[in-house]
Structure 1
Amino acid sequence: MDDKTAELRDIFLDATGEETVTERQAEGRGSLVDAADPERVDTRLRDLVATMRDRYEFETDLDPDAYVRLVYGFHDGEDDATLAEALGVDAETVLGARLDCHLVREADHDDGSIRERALAADREATRANDRFRDAFAELLTDADLGDRLASDSREDGLREATEDIETDVSF
């Protein structure tokens, strides 16, 4: 260490009272298990719905957990009757909440009684560049992918490696 460096080190030590001049700058490695945290996904879904409520006039007034359940159910392919039963509301409320969240099914366009509402939800989603639809899908797709990959990573991998090994052992 040259004189200037030693002098700067002494000034630092006097000013901070610390013995350590540098800290490690490397961040810990990520984990698929961390990325698939259901609580994080639920929180992000709640945030997205809250943003939508601030931006658009919602027809329905469900609690945040109900909207999260609705988004999960929609992406899992549950129909409105199933979602209504799970949420303890009627199917009309589920339809309204779904459309509030820009979650439109192809069949909505074929149903004369709700076609206009579905088209209005599509127009609103298009004006937002499908931002919310895409965010919902990405979150739930990533969560599902992370869950699968994380569970696969917990296996030891020996099953595939030893699959074709012939064992001819005699005792």
Structure 2
Amino acid sequence: MNDKTEELRDIFTDVTDGEETVTESQEDTRGSLERDERSTEERLESVVQQMRERYGFDDVSLSDDELITVAKSFYEGDSDAEIADALGVEPETVFEARMALHLVDEDDADEVDLAAIRNREEDDATLADEYDVDETQIRRYRRIAAAEDESRTANDRYRDEFDSVLADSELSERMTTDVREDGLEDATEGMETDVEF
């Protein structure tokens, strides 16, 4: 070791509190298209539990597992009646569960402007006459408007999480499969397979 090198080593050890070497342990990580290592079920369970803690779900008679089924089925395009049939409950129970989970479909209130009835103080009968629907339908519209308001108050965070888990899961699975297949193709391209040992 020449004088300059030794001088640099001395400076280095002074700066590093006497350590002769500085090494950082490296972790062998692989890239992933998925942002979360938890399973789809675990992520859904987490969202449902957070929502139950925050909102109470007093009007919801379904268990967390059943609520997860409602969310999955909703994203698969099933109607309330189809989901209710699968769970052995009434469609109205599924509707209430969807509203509690902020899963409002664009077809839920396509006949009425929710913004127009959102803050109306008239009773259900008056609005039902005005919109030429029955009171049950007005109560339903008001429940949809309330669910949308609740979702907006939470910055649509729970709906976004459902979107992330359920709407993107099929795409993510398809992409990871394609990447694996492409990677295997690239790795084996040009290899001789007829090799004798």
TM-score w.r.t. length of structure 2: 0.63
**Identity score, percent:** 41
Letter in 1 for 2:81: A
Q: 1:124 to 1:156 in 2, by over 3 A?
A: closer
Q: 1:108 to 1:156 in 2, by over 3 A?
A: closer
The Cα of 1:90 is off from its aligned counterpart by: 1.6
Residue 97 of structure 2 aligns with which residue? 97
TM-score w.r.t. length of structure 1: 0.71
The answer to whether the Cα contact below 8 Å between 1:80 and 1:94 also exists between their aligned partners in 2 is yes
Provide the secondary structure at the position in 1 that maps to 2:162. helix
The Cα of 1:140 is off from its aligned counterpart by: 1.7
Letter in 1 for 2:95: L
Task: Note the 1:1-12 alignment, pairs <5 A.
Answer: 2=9, 5=13, 8-9=18-19
Residue 151 of structure 1 aligns with which residue? 177
Provide the secondary structure at the position in 1 that maps to 2:104. coil
Q: 1:67 to 1:77 in 2, by over 3 A?
A: same
CA distance in 1, matches of 2:153, 2:81: 29
Residue 54 of structure 1 aligns with which residue? 53
Runs of 4+ in 1 over 6 A off after TM superposition: none
Letter in 1 for 2:176: A
CA radius of gyration, larger in: 2
Residue 31 of structure 1 aligns with which residue? 32
Q: 1:96 to 1:132 in 2, by over 3 A?
A: same
Provide the secondary structure at the position in 2 that maps to 1:77. coil
The Cα of 1:78 is off from its aligned counterpart by: 0.8
The Cα of 1:25 is off from its aligned counterpart by: 2.2
Contiguous gaps of at least 5 residues in structure 1: 13-20, 159-171
Provide the secondary structure at the position in 2 that maps to 1:102. coil
The Cα of 1:102 is off from its aligned counterpart by: 0.8
Contiguous gaps of at least 5 residues in structure 2: 1-5, 112-136, 186-197
CA RMSD of aligned residues (A): 2.9
CA distance in 2, matches of 1:118, 1:28: 45
Indicate the structure whose relative CO is greater, using CA pairs within 8 Å and at least 6 residues apart: 1
The Cα of 1:36 is off from its aligned counterpart by: 8.5
CA distance in 2, matches of 1:37, 1:130: 19
Q: Aligned residues, how many?
A: 147
Task: Note the 1:85-164 alignment, pairs <5 A.
Answer: 85-109=85-109, 110=111, 111-156=137-182
| Deviations, residues 88-128 of structure 1 (Å, cap 9, x unaligned) | 22211111100100111223224545111111111111111
The answer to whether the Cα contact below 8 Å between 1:36 and 1:144 also exists between their aligned partners in 2 is no
The answer to whether the Cα contact below 8 Å between 1:36 and 1:146 also exists between their aligned partners in 2 is no
Residue 81 of structure 2 aligns with which residue? 81
